Structure 1
Amino acid sequence: MPYVAPEQIKRAKQMDLLTYLQYYEPQELVHFSGNVYTTRSHDSLKISNEKWCWWSRGIGGRSALDYLIKVRGMTLPEAVMRIDGQAVVVPPAPSKARETAGPKKLLLPEKNQSNDRVVAYLKGRGMHSALIDYCLQTGRLYESRYRHNAVFVGFDPQGVPRYGALRGTSGSRFMRDASGSDKRFSFSIPAREKSTKLRLFESAIDLLSYGTLDLLAGRDWRQENCLSLAGIFKPKKNIMESTPPAALMQYLKDYPHITEIALHLDNDAPGRLATKTIETLLSPLLIIFDEPPKQGKDMNDYLKIVLGIKLQKEPDHYSL
């Protein structure tokens, strides 16, 4: 294995990826739009403002050294050699093969014979029957047999259920994910026609609330793609060390034509912090709009205000 000196590593870390590709691998560099570039080998890898992110793998960095190690699979000495061009050979050391985890097995609750309680619950929160019917007919929503919870189902691009969010319908604040849920494929509703815009929400309830507001305003509620984050996104203390939500990154990987994101996250402190973090991390690569609810804490609050439904604080206990 090659050996490189500390000063060589220091020099290599100073080169950003765009500069490296321009000088060493210009055939690999592809202009995407504006100041954003991608690579010929990986079209989900975007480069902008001296940063890069490989959406399909959920990794990113700043330097060319990071890219050569994380994307190209080089060892640190090999990557430094590629950039700095000098090395001394030493005997190879044994390495351990990485173990890859198998796919999760999703265990959704058994379906009830009817969806009456779920329909009544959602209508009580202001949801329009057209949206409820669409979700029932497409398998995105059903009522569980034993607890009569609302079950919101998320699918992968092949139409395979990969995620389930359970929500209590009897006045309790019961919320949890079905066993084996993969948050990368959370509840979503695609645009009727191909759209370059994605609307992002904290929950399925907020997503359906926004769709209802669109419908009531006479707009096509499926004009753009809509995605739930399956809960609150909690960034790290240092925003730049955070990774965007898994569901969002997976959606951008699966639908690379998306160029705009509208953030409809809550008006509370966690929602505002999540919005700021996503804007900071993704604004160099995508057009970001901050569109929180005009009134109330979240989109469902705003819908209730528009419809004149009294806002009620949900119970703090959880029912199993």
Structure 2
Amino acid sequence: MDGRFTDEELAIAKSVDLCAVAESLGYTVRRIGKYHTLKEMDSIRIYNRSHWFRWSRQFDKGSNGGSQIDFLRVFCGMSVKDAVFWLLDFAGYRRIESREKQPLIHQVAQKRTEERKSFVLPEPAGDNSYLISYLNNERGISRTVIDLFLKGGLIYESRHYHNVVFKGNDKNGVTRFASMRGVFDKQGKPFKCDVVGNDKKYGFNVVNVKSTELVVFEAAIDLMSYVDIFTDYESNKLALGMLADAPLETFLKEHPQIASIRFCLDADEPGRKAASELMKKYYELGYDVEDCPPPAGYKDYNEWLVATKLNLSGPGKKAINHARA
């Protein structure tokens, strides 16, 4: 399909209700006076239901606001092209092309913005070969750990596009949240997006009701990398999927045995700021807390794992052996 868009198509994409887009992605939209905000990211301001701004100075220029397209680009990791296609689909638009290059035919669903899409998991692929190849060869995660998560039903490969799907279950094992990670990103920006209609009060997690320890990460792949590095199959683990702590609040409510929390957030500025704020909050709530970022020189646990397995410069295996000392 041609990636070029007509002025009409771009106008349709930018006419979609941004509040409805955010809700369909699992965010909780709240109205405050003349603007809307998100419960999960209260620094976000949505104006006229069409454009947004983030009142925070910790993020790079170019990620602080814009249109519906920019929202999907920043928070779902989409390219501009993918974001426009997503918005056109959301609006009920259908592009029809033929050899005779007939005019585009489309339908825009009325009142679509008032609806919230249902949460439906992507259809599984026949096998998990692309998933295994990506996680093992590109992200350095061992087959032992990959097989553990596959057998536990926590990850699988989608039939369409072969994305890795990470499932976030509630205490009863019902999947409430799911995110996707593309496996074909060697030459371009990675595809990352939450499944439409998910509940952002949940995150990708591993539960052990006999353990009182919870280890918290930003991303699911960092959680798996941690398991590989430390062969930790005992503690509870949670990937927030963001820097807001709604999934952590939910996990603690559903698993009241938790007494200690180890924060393994990224080593970049947003991750360090979030770790500091969350450490303070949960210490004051009575939990034992510990800040456990990756060793100096690594942004996250997966970067640490990959560097170690490839014997790249940096703390490497020595750091792994002494990380808990």
Fold shared by both chains (TM-score > 0.5): yes
Residue 243 (structure 2) pairs with residue 232 (structure 1): yes
CA positional deviation for 1:137? 1.5
Indicate conservation of the 8 Å contact 1:104/1:182, yes or no.
Answer: no
C-alpha distance in structure 2 between counterparts of 1:142 and 1:186, whole Å:
16
Taking structure 1 as reference, are residues 288 and 139 closer, same or farther at Cα in structure 2, changes over 3 Å only? same
What is the aligned-residue RMSD (CA, Å)?
A: 2.0
Cα distance per residue 1:260-298 (max 9 Å; x no partner): 000000000000000011012111221110000014000
Matches within 5 A, 1:1-320: 105-124=118-137, 125-171=139-185, 172-191=189-208, 194-215=210-231, 221-233=232-244, 245-284=245-284, 285-295=286-296, 296-308=298-310
Q: Deviations over 1:125-174 (max 9, x none)?
A: 11111221121112211111111100001111111111111001011411
Give the number of equivalent residue pairs.
Answer: 194
Q: Match of 1:199, as an amino acid?
A: V
Q: Is the 8 A contact 1:136 1:142 kept in 2?
A: yes
Residue aligned with 1:183, SS: coil
- Relative distance call for 1:159 and 1:126 in structure 2 (3 A) is same
Question: 1:104/1:258 Cα in 2 relative to 1: closer, same or farther (>3 Å)?
Answer: farther
Contact 2:116 2:197 in 1 (8 A): no
CA-to-aligned-CA distance 1:104-127 (integer Å, 9 cap, x gap) = 842111111011001000002111
Q: CA deviation at 1:176?
A: 0.5
Task: Tell me by how many angstroms 1:224 deviates.
Answer: 0.6
CA distance in 1: counterparts of 2:162 and 2:243, whole angstroms:
24
Closer, same or farther in 2 for the Cα pair 1:232/1:310, shift >3 Å? farther
Kept after mapping to 2: 8 A contact 1:198/1:260: yes
CA distance in 2, matches of 1:265, 1:104: 31
Moved over 6 A (4+): none
Contact 1:190/1:222, CA 8 A, preserved across alignment:
no
Check conservation: 1:263, 1:288, Cα contact below 8 A: yes
Query: Is the CA contact 1:165–1:176 (under 8 Å) kept in the aligned structure 2?
Result: yes
Higher relative contact order (CA 8 A, sep 6+): 1
C-alpha change, 1:132 and 1:189, in structure 2 (3 Å) is: same
Structure whose CA Rg is larger: 1
Contact conserved, 1:198 with 1:227, CA < 8 A, in 2? yes
Distance in 2 of aligned mates of 1:180 and 1:294: 36
CA 1:187–1:199: 2 relative to 1, 3 Å:
same
Separation (CA, whole Å) in 1 of partners of 2:216 and 2:303:
17
The TM-score normalised by the length of structure 1 is: 0.58
Q: Residue deviations 1:14-42, cap 9 Å, x none?
A: xxxxxxxxxxxxxxxxxxxxxxxxxxxxx
Q: 1:173 to 1:232 in 2, by over 3 A?
A: farther
SS class of match (1:135): helix
> Any unmatched runs of 5+ in structure 1?
1-57, 59-101, 216-220, 234-244, 312-320
The two structures have a TM-score, normalised by structure 2, of: 0.57
- Give the aligned residue type for 1:287: D
